[in-house]
Amino acid sequence: MLGDVQPIVVANRAPLTLELADAYRNTPERLVRGAGGLVTALSSLAASTRALWVAVARDDPDRILAARGDPAELVTDDGTSYRVAFVQPRPDSYELYYNTISNPLLWFIQHYLWDLAREPIVDTATRHAWQEGYVRVNQLVADRVVAEAKASSQPPLVFVQDYQLYCVPGMVRAQLPDVRIQHFVHIPWPTPMSWTVLPKQIRDAIVQGLLGADLVGFQTRRDVRNFLLTCEENLGLTVDFRERTVFFEGRVVWVRNYPISVDVGGLLQQAEGEDVRIEEERLLTWRPEKLILRVDRTDLSKNIVRGFLAYERMLEDHHELHGAVQFWAYLQPSRQDIDDYRAYLGSVLSVAAGINRKFSSGGWTPIRVEIDDVMARALAGYRQFDVLLVNPIYDGMNLVAKEGVLCNRRDGVMVLSENAGSHEELGDFALTVNPFDIDETAEALYLGLMMDAPQKRARAERICETVRSADINRWIALQLQDLRDLLKV
């Protein structure tokens, strides 16, 4: 896979979590592998190369793991082993780094979520959080990477992940000028102008930090273009749009897109599991004739409220569907320590309740909102939907769009936002919507429910083929290929 190198994966989260023993529920302590394709993909890389994982200790269970070794040799309950080096920032630094700067400030800029007439207000507290939180934690992480790189007998190859760690590549490069670094950004990279919300010193530090890498990866071609434009317009750097390179401090930085995907084999196997069968049986006891599904974290970017408003519009226009259709919103609670997120969940619940009050009759409830965190239930939903609504305001990729249709057993139709990263690959076979337009979304939901069987099947098959041929292994393989071709690793 890779030559003689020591891969170092750097991410905010470790690839595993410690679930503490619970005497009340009589459950033992468990070390559980993190969910999602990223952990799966990087885990296979880590397992095959003895990679080291550098992560930030976020809470007490992480700190317990950190105390088990430095780096800790950890084996999850499914038998996968990891070497994890935790950095341990002070809790107040972590809070500023994670809950003030990364979420919401950067997340909101990168998903265009700020209501700019009112927010954000940038002040001394923002600069303090940047310096004492974000920069400080990034420096701790970078120092740890440097120490591990120096201790390695093989040349290190550093893979940094995401928006919490933008400064790490530059900080590592400052200490190890020749090290090979790749940084992958999982969320959208917005237009240059969106970044001007931040003071110049902060927004330039973000881009310069990233340019410490040799290769910067994004999900879509649009993200790549926006990043190149940001380098040119906001920092005045020399950019080659055809080669997709930036010249920075005497080096060439390559910028490429690698659409993240799912572990197709693993996911389909998981979807056949006993726990999913039990969830599906439960679902069949209440499923309506026609099921609309959405599965999302309760994040503002996911656009859950407008999804309900579109469904309301559809019910207003199509009385014949009353009693026959139900919209199941299966939602995972997210970032509830941030005010905007708590308020958003409140709006989600109250809008759904309002629609249910307006239309419920004869035992029929139009919307079923369920807030929980059980993957098997999401998979049961994926198998059973007739229409899957994926309408984010903006989204880096959106894996639900890829997983949902792949697991579905009914040739279900997907209604997909043109602003989801997955739209670049799957848009031709979904029903495309502008996520702000509830009339258009209502119409698409209706078309999806009414589509004839051959058309449904043709679309579902094309989506499945696309996902199968570009799965998570390809995501990794393309990056490794570029590291070999461009950087001669």
In the complex, which residues of this chain contact ligand GDG (CB under 6 A)? 35-36, 38, 186-187, 260, 295, 297, 332, 373-375, 378, 395-400, 403, 421
Half-sphere exposure of 26 (CA within 13 A, CB side): 0
Collapsed DSSP state (helix, strand, coil) of residue 244: coil
Contact assessment for residue 235 and residue 210, using Cβ atoms and an 8 Å cutoff = no
Residue 19: what are its φ and ψ, rounded to 5°? -95, 115
Residue 370 CA to residue 349 CA, distance in Å, equals 10
- The residues with which 32 forms a beta bridge, in sequence order, are 17
Nearest approach, Cβ of residue 164 and ligand GDG (Å) = 12
Nearest approach, Cβ of residue 34 and ligand GDG (Å) = 9
Count of CB atoms situated within 10 Å of the CB of 101: 25
Closest CB to ligand GDG among residues 397, 460 = 397
Nearest approach, Cβ of residue 409 and ligand GDG (Å) = 16
Residue 110 CA to residue 104 CA, distance in Å, equals 10
Closest CB to ligand GDG among residues 374, 458 = 374
Nearest approach, Cβ of residue 69 and ligand GDG (Å) = 26
Closest CB to ligand GDG among residues 126, 466 = 466
Nearest approach, Cβ of residue 217 and ligand GDG (Å) = 11
Closest CB to ligand GDG among residues 35, 47 = 35
Residue among 16, 158, 35, 164 nearest 83 (CA)? 16
Count of CB atoms situated within 10 Å of the CB of 362: 6
Residue among 54, 52, 44, 40 nearest 82 (CA)? 52
Closest CB to ligand GDG among residues 375, 447 = 375
Closest CB to ligand GDG among residues 6, 182 = 182
Element (H, E) at 40: helix 37-49
| C-alpha 188 chain-centroid distance | 10
Closest CB to ligand GDG among residues 138, 298 = 298
Nearest approach, Cβ of residue 297 and ligand GDG (Å) = 5
Nearest approach, Cβ of residue 103 and ligand GDG (Å) = 11
Residue 361 CA to residue 432 CA, distance in Å, equals 31
